[in-house]
Structure 1
């Protein structure tokens, strides 16, 4: 109760007067202090996001909800509202970058969500082509005997027809699996081989789809902001989401074998432990979770 009361007092009164005193002492508003005092990346953009979101000024609050085409005008409006000279190029450039990152993150989430909502359709030629591409990337020396076959279990699907395994994450699950296999082919084949371990093995494709859900939930919750704001100086794209997914697949395989679970029956327990580990890493405002130089030239 006391904490709630303090939070209400701080947001309503204390924060306003603290900002007023600091501006009086420094001659700079909060936005200027953040943009000039923090290095480019998550620290700066998260600071801007918090400052704009907690402002009582409608123009500043609305800056968090503009689309890409409105960012330049929005920057000018904010500078006018805060009486910051338009010739302050440093402020203008830095705020423009941060607003692009903020609006880009929201747009990326919508794009990922839209792809997740697309169900796998075996009558869709493009869907089928991606599924066959996944097989060819992972099993280049073995031909599929039929479209519906137990061979799919060899790459970690649960049934003779993989389409049933994509229900939770829709086409997003397949796109992620194909992306990793295409851009990190050697790593994907090595991990597939390791997943067949007699004691520590797991279903490669099913786990891959599960990790798609993890990447999606981290994006949806906003936990992925530090990573994306550090990696992308502008608008985050679907490519950056796929790259983060690849990081999860690679790191989960290492984690699984380091933990040495008693059996696959404990998967959910270790999956949650891995999830908490990743969320912990993302609490660092300097987080950059990528595979780096493992990507094919």
Structure 2
């Protein structure tokens, strides 16, 4: 059955799809991209179909649109309209609709590059900006408690493993710290609530370490392309780092609710429940109307 499916897919994409598109164009007078842009509302379904159409095209101009940078998108749209003989007076909405799709598609690739750069940025104790951000995290979460010193066991109170948190950022670099600070700064009440749950005597977990782990989850989902439907539905344009940080906030808040509802026997079962939560998120992302958005009000 697998081999038959593979053969059918190959025949369809290599031969049948081209002739089917040609036939429909002759019948309707519109190209596939026009039909997609006019037939679907803005969001994941429309942009995903447009992306597939561009990627599957035999036309170099259309395939190249997926690699175009933001500054050249208008010119790219004009070239596509010329290649497909789309007349603005006959389809006045097509230009803007395709432009939005391309902003989302190329923006997702740009976002991954930005996220990867932060992940590769190593926390440096000699960098005043890095140090200030770490201390800001403490002040946001523990406003009534002062640190005895920069290196202290107190860091364990917000879920770091040792006396110096810098060692915990090795896997996710500055991306892990920035996400923790973003959540604490923009959803302060919720972050403190999650921290209080993390310090529960029976159901507790390491707040900061789990947060960094959830950053890795968000990063992996972005890298695999699984987050595209979410961003295509929630950002009518180019997604940026703030949108990624917002997604992390959703994961941090929802994981806390999930953990408490599941009532694990101990923190030793974290990996098991982490994967279970991961599966829940991936299932949500299969919904074409998915929006992984924290519903409480942020400060901004």
TM norm. shorter chain > 0.5: yes
- Aligned pairs for 1:76-95 (under 5 A) are 76-87=78-89, 88-95=91-98
Q: Aligned runs of 1:253-272 on 2, under 5 Å?
A: 253-272=256-275
Q: RMSD in angstroms over aligned alpha carbons?
A: 1.0
Conserved? CA contact 1:76–1:86, under 8 Å:
no
Pairs within 5 Å for 1:30-45: 30-45=32-47
Q: Distance in 2 between matches of 1:86 and 1:291?
A: 39
1:46 to 45, 48, 54: 48
Specify which of 166, 169, 175 is matched with residue 169 of structure 2. 166
Q: How does 1:144-163 map to 2 (within 5 A)?
A: 144-163=147-166
* Aligned residue pairs, count: 297
In the aligned structure 1, how far is the partner of 2:293 from the partner of 2:76? 32
After superposition, the C-alpha distances for 1:218-275 in whole angstroms (9 at most, x for unaligned) are 1111111111111111111111000000000000000001111111111111101111
How far does the alpha carbon of each residue in 1:150-178 deviate from its partner, in whole angstroms, 9 at most, with x for none? 00000000000000000000000000000
CA distance in structure 2 between the aligned counterparts of 1:265 and 1:89, rounded to whole angstroms: 59
Worse-superposed segment, 86-95 or 18-27: 18-27
Structure 2 segments unaligned to the other structure (5+ residues) = none
- Inter-partner Cα distance in structure 2 for 1:254 and 1:26: 51
Provide the rounded CA distance (Å) in 2 between the counterparts of 1:241 and 1:52: 25
The two structures have a TM-score, normalised by structure 1, of: 0.98
Shift of 1:70: 0.8
Is this contact kept in 2: 1:105–1:235, CA < 8 A?
A: yes
Alignment of 1:73-112 (within 5 A): 73-87=75-89, 88-112=91-115
TM alignment of 1:129-208, pairs within 5 A: 129-208=132-211
Taking structure 2 as the reference length, the TM-score comes to 0.97
Match of 1:9 in 2: 11
